[in-house]
Structure 1
Amino acid sequence: MAEQRSVSLLMAICLCFYFAQGNQAYEGKWKLLKKSIGISAMHMALLPNNKVIMFDRSNFGPSNISLPQRKCQKGILLSTDCYAHSVEFDPSNRNVRPLTILTDTWCSSGALSQDGVLIQSGGSGAGERVVRYFKPCVECDWAEDPNGLNVPRWYASNQILPNGKTIVVGGRFQFSYEFIPKTSPSDQILYQLPFLRETRHSAMIPNNFYPFVHLSPDGNLFIFANDRAILLDYIKNKVIRKFPVMPGGVSRNYPSTGSSVLLPLNLSGKSNAGFPEAEVLVCGGTLPDSNAKAAMGVFIPASKSCGRLRFTAENPTWEMEEMPRKRVMGDMILLPTGDVLIINGAAKGTAGWNMASEPVLHPVVYRPWRNNAKADRFDILSPADIPRLYHSTAHLLSDGRVLVGGSNPNWNYNFSTVHPTELSVEAFYPPYLSPTKSRPLISWIKPGVELGYKQKINVGFKSKKRPGKVYLTMVSPSFTTHSFAMNQRLLVLDAGPVVESENSAGSNFVVEGFAPATPELAPAGYYLLFVVGDDVPSRGTWVRIK
């Protein structure tokens, strides 16, 4: 009898282990894509050709990748060496192509233009007033305008506007904004923004770095800095609304570095004002004096708190929640399902060289539309093996994976410290990519991938079974650096019911949808279109709103 009980107990233990392992598969997985791309990916942007542009700074010291000999002529680079500090990475075959940047891009900003050109602005030293352009093509390289900005911009934020321009907000010693490219007289004007001066961390830090900037559905800008936010009419240079202070006394912007997203815009629903309600989510960060203490070797625990604000409401108030993990320097990435992935970062300290400790290896996913208890909106996912601290990045890929790279909490490349410079890139597979789940496959889009505002489209897709819930999402490609994905945006399209198809293309199902109605909802340019069936997204198809 005792032997039988022992066997039963052993079987129970094995079954528990089996189910634990099985459940773990549903929490996502990690895959190393490239042990070294030659640089540390401080900045990251996805282009419509599905290649990713990454770069760090031009004075980081010798990198692990060289430029072609023809680009190493004396006098072209700031130094006389031949090391590259920018690369083009192809996730499909893991090829790396070195690129040439002449001026320092350290802690700069960027956005993707409506023509699919990466517009990148500012930096340090000789790069602080430079605007750079990268056009996706086989042999293309960076082009640089040394006087593209009115004033130096270091640690600024960018956002694409309804008129196709890019607004550049803030930066070191800059309490102002301006527009690029400079194609009209109004683009030459420097617009003051006292809000950035008023919301500094403290007198010890006379700046306001990387404010969170989101385009509101009414065309104005929601701007958040540390614990306060405004709605700005950037055309009239007028603050039209001030929002309540976010509770908790936590600073959220660099170097206290939390993160922020504009939650998915549901285009089938409208507020009394005639456009969809809009909410922001701000998570993580730390106390205002944490940076000063970290400089003395004292690492204060980061915050677990998140604040959610429906800023289009008549009387908006912050709804506070808590993440399962304390986190500073976490990246918040919108997934095609409308969920939010929070990844990378540390549990103590702040942003800066050797200013943080206790890497947070577990990503979490936040499901904003769960109606149950707030704590249940978060799920803890599979941990990474590689710590991603200061100067790490993350970006959604068209196939639904999340590319993760970077981490250099050191002055220069240093591979022998406790937290060394990280040159690798890896992919995180969210739980919806479990092999046990049926995934839709887009077959065709009619009338095509060139869209007009309000245009009706039909999307044909294959699926092993008829999904119970189907919706269409469009995701804008972002520019990610320092825990903020600039220009990140997800639209849940107004869509009709799913019907079975007998189309000659062989698609099983068709769903009808409508493109966004206005450039305030979706500035012209490139987006990834996904069919989501039972919370599992298809691969994204590039579409362009013109």
Structure 2
Amino acid sequence: MAPSLLALGVFSLLFASASAFILPRGTVNSGLPSGWKYSSCYIDNAHGRIFATQVPDNNGLTVESCINACAEQGFSISGMEFGVQCFCGNQLINGATTAPDDDCSTPCGGSGSESCGGPNRLSVYSKGGVDVLPVPTTLTTGLPGNWKYSGCIKEPANGQRTFPYQIINTNNNSVTACLNQCAKFGYPAAGLEFGDECWCGDVSDATNNSGGTAPDTACNIACSGDPVHNCGAGNLLSYYTYEGGLNTWHQPANTGRYEFLIGGVVVPLVVTLGINNKIAMVEKFGTSEYANSTGAYELDLSMVDDFDKAWHTMHVKSDVFCSASIVLPDKGARQLNIGGWSFESTQGVRLYTPDGSPGVPGTNDWEENFNELHLQRQRWYPTALVLVNGSILVMGGEVGSNGAPEPSLEILPTPPGGPTWKFLDYLNRTDPNNLYPYLINLPSGRIFVGYYNEARILDPNTLDTVQVLPNIPGSVTSFLAGRTYPMEGSAVTFPQHAPYTDPMTVLICGGSNFGVALDNCVTIQPEVPNAQWTIERMPSKRAMPCMAALPDGTFLIVNGAQQGVAGFGLGADPNLQALLYDPSQPLGSRISILNTTIVARMYHSEATLLYDGRVLISGSDPQTPGLPEEMRIEVYYPPYLTDGRQQPSFTIDETDWSYGSQHQIKVTLHEGGTSTMRVSLVAATSSTHGNAMGSRTIFPEFSCNGDTCTITAPPNAKICPPGWHQLFVLDGPTPSFSHWVRIGGDPGRLGEWPNFSDFTLPGS
């Protein structure tokens, strides 16, 4: 019986419905991970590759193996091409368009019954829908800050690069991220290349180095982290510049000057201005390059025209190579030196009481007796700090002679009751990049510790960590760069001003990214809520810098290398340029470019403020070919001494101040009146390896009646830890010679320690 027309109609409808769900030949619809199914055949390279991620080619490729490889990496779309290629993504990019399914007919390398795309054709499977992103365009609007698009430029033909700093963002490069990173570290020019490369530098780099311009359409590779926008192409950079610049480096007409002072006798490793206004220096003893070295010398600045009278030979008993020093708050302002190179010297405790005066020789010498007095632990490259209670914190170092780490702290005078040193896991974890850690008393009484690229705050009583601060920023290319030896930057605190309500700011300049010197300073206010670091670019790179606090509240930055790290033979390209850092100026405008020297000063160089406002520049022991052991001593005259103004003067009778007390001085001003006068207190420091231990600058409250001014001492030990300070009067910008004052007495009674007959006890 022939089928009825109705039956034929139903059959045709059923056939048509079934045929709509028939998959193209060679597609796979079973055995796939849950939710995965065939999507379509797509054209590859119509406007660029349509997947951002490729799995290595596989001659045994199957649809299942490609999907599994993508699913394991968290991707939701998989594509097969040329029978052996597998691609993954979460979107299709570059305006992907479909092709006839029959175009995807190349058998898979691992299964002849399955289709794996074809020439420039992809068999695409997905878990869920397939999102297709448009052909990428150049991002020219909505840019962060004052950035603007400046064209597509070529890399130079000589194989070099246009910009110096490369960041590879394999899966997350974008124009916005690249521009923000460059701007964060002070670079006003940026280029994006090959989709995943971000380059930072200066406009002058593009002007001087690039191979010229190219059509905008040539920079057509999608960004690895933003596939709807272009990030250059092969040897082509999508080029962006920051309008208005990011840094204002002042270039004043008056830059101050370097001046030769006197020839030296050794390369000093630790330099201290004593209250006798002479410079105490200690150097390697036993390991010195000079067979007749006694390890310690003192320079009388008033006698520099007579070499033999200027230098006074002193003596140490053990090797002070890479030790640490501070000035004690006792009546004699003794200089304490701890640690050293090897054996007993690593536990050495040495004391010197400055005596004599300018032009009058002293007779005191360094005192040391290991059998009577020594540290609990061996320490090479340690740091010391007088705490607010008057005791001495000693932290860090190694056991000597490039030995094992000593990740601990201890207190001097040593508390009774057996071993009292404390193990520090954070120093143990970051060895060997945390030597000479930065120690600073905060206005709360707590203690800031900076080491390698980390920082934290300690409780002053338990010495336990109470707050871990954000990591210290490094270089534009790496957060792993460091700030303490051997990466070696230099740290100080911003001046404190009466009434002392502003939070304290810590400033660290320079350092190294394991050989690539850093060109930035960073600041933080550790005790504000949600404390964060800010970054400020310097005009040049500088590892091993030295910073000296000046009486006007600024900081002189000198010495160092533009390449390498601290250590013998590990630095190169000396930085001969002096800089002035002014905290009173806005961020990005605090640095002035000063004068240059002809003397290379790198490893083991120091900068020390003198009583007349000059800065003593000493040392350099690089053991780098072509760079000598530098014994010449220079001084730097900051601009406030080279503008033709006469220095003011003052007299003072009371030099031992209690907290909150008031003391009169009589001033003689030559340029202005007391309405424009300032008074500053610069704490006594000992400097080694750019670490000026004890550094602090305070501008106290004062009032004047005629030429008689009354100064109010800082209110407590948290604002001003007990110790000796140089008191300066500033007539406008010009400082006086200083007078030494002691503030806060000697609460730890260090002047009565150690109680042995062969040690001088000046009293508290």
TM-score range, shorter chain: 0.7 to 0.9
Give 1:511 deviation, angstroms.
3.0
Contact 1:461 1:510 in 2 (8 A): yes
Q: Which of the residues 291, 311, 321 maps onto 2:526?
A: 311
* In 2: Cα distance, 1:148 partner to 1:99 partner: 21
Contact 1:111 1:166 in 2 (8 A): no
For the pair 1:440 / 2:648, whether they are aligned, the reply is: yes
Matches within 5 A, 1:40-119: 40-61=267-288, 63=290, 82-94=292-304, 95-115=310-330, 116-119=333-336
Identity of aligned residues (%): 30
Q: Which of the residues 247, 268, 282 maps onto 2:508?
A: 282
Give 1:237 deviation, angstroms.
2.6
Contact 2:270 2:282 in 1 (8 A): yes
* In 1: Cα distance, 2:427 partner to 2:288 partner: 33
Contact 1:258 1:329 in 2 (8 A): yes
Give 1:329 deviation, angstroms.
0.3
Matching residue's letter, 2:266: I
Please name the residue that 1:29 is paired with.
Answer: 257
Give 1:38 deviation, angstroms.
1.2
Q: Secondary structure at the match of 2:595?
A: coil
Larger Rg: 2
* In 1: Cα distance, 2:336 partner to 2:397 partner: 17
* In 2: Cα distance, 1:333 partner to 1:187 partner: 39
Matching residue's letter, 2:346: E
Q: Secondary structure at the match of 1:523?
A: coil
For the pair 1:389 / 2:389, whether they are aligned, the reply is: no
Q: Which of the residues 339, 342, 351 maps onto 1:122?
A: 339
Give 1:155 deviation, angstroms.
0.5
Matching residue's letter, 1:524: P
Number of aligned positions between the proteins: 466
Please name the residue that 2:690 is paired with.
Answer: 483
Matching residue's letter, 1:284: G
* In 2: Cα distance, 1:418 partner to 1:24 partner: 33
Q: Which of the residues 409, 417, 427 maps onto 2:635?
A: 427
* In 2: Cα distance, 1:353 partner to 1:361 partner: 19
* In 2: Cα distance, 1:369 partner to 1:155 partner: 33
Q: Which of the residues 422, 439, 446 maps onto 1:213?
A: 439
* In 2: Cα distance, 1:362 partner to 1:82 partner: 34
Give 1:62 deviation, angstroms.
5.0
Please name the residue that 1:529 is paired with.
Answer: 727
Q: Secondary structure at the match of 1:197?
A: helix
Q: Which moved more, 1:227-236 or 1:475-484?
A: 227-236
Matching residue's letter, 1:149: L
Give 1:188 deviation, angstroms.
4.7
Please name the residue that 1:9 is paired with.
Answer: none
Give 1:194 deviation, angstroms.
1.6
Contact 2:670 2:731 in 1 (8 A): no
CA change 1:266–1:83 in 2 (3 A) is same
Q: Which of the residues 122, 135, 140 maps onto 2:364?
A: 140
Give 1:24 deviation, angstroms.
7.6
Please name the residue that 2:494 is paired with.
Answer: 263
For the pair 1:334 / 2:552, whether they are aligned, the reply is: no
Give 1:244 deviation, angstroms.
1.1
For the pair 1:452 / 2:643, whether they are aligned, the reply is: no
Contact 1:393 1:405 in 2 (8 A): yes
Matching residue's letter, 2:613: G
Offset from partner CA, 1:365-419 (integer Å, 9 cap, x none):
1000113xx33210011111211011111111111111111101129xxxxx410
Matching residue's letter, 1:267: A
Q: TM-score, normalised by structure 1?
A: 0.82
* In 2: Cα distance, 1:24 partner to 1:190 partner: 50
CA change 1:83–1:286 in 2 (3 A) is closer
* In 2: Cα distance, 1:460 partner to 1:323 partner: 40
Q: TM-score, normalised by structure 2?
A: 0.59
Q: Secondary structure at the match of 2:670?
A: coil
Q: CA RMSD in A?
A: 1.9
Offset from partner CA, 1:443-465 (integer Å, 9 cap, x none):
x236x122111001222211123
Matching residue's letter, 1:331: C
Unaligned runs of 5+ residues in structure 1 are 1-22, 64-80, 271-275, 291-299, 412-416, 501-508
Q: Which of the residues 695, 711, 716 maps onto 1:518?
A: 716
Give 1:175 deviation, angstroms.
1.1
Q: Secondary structure at the match of 1:32?
A: strand
Unaligned runs of 5+ residues in structure 2 are 1-250, 305-309, 356-361, 399-404, 746-764
For the pair 1:362 / 2:564, whether they are aligned, the reply is: no
Q: Secondary structure at the match of 1:92?
A: helix
Give 1:492 deviation, angstroms.
1.1
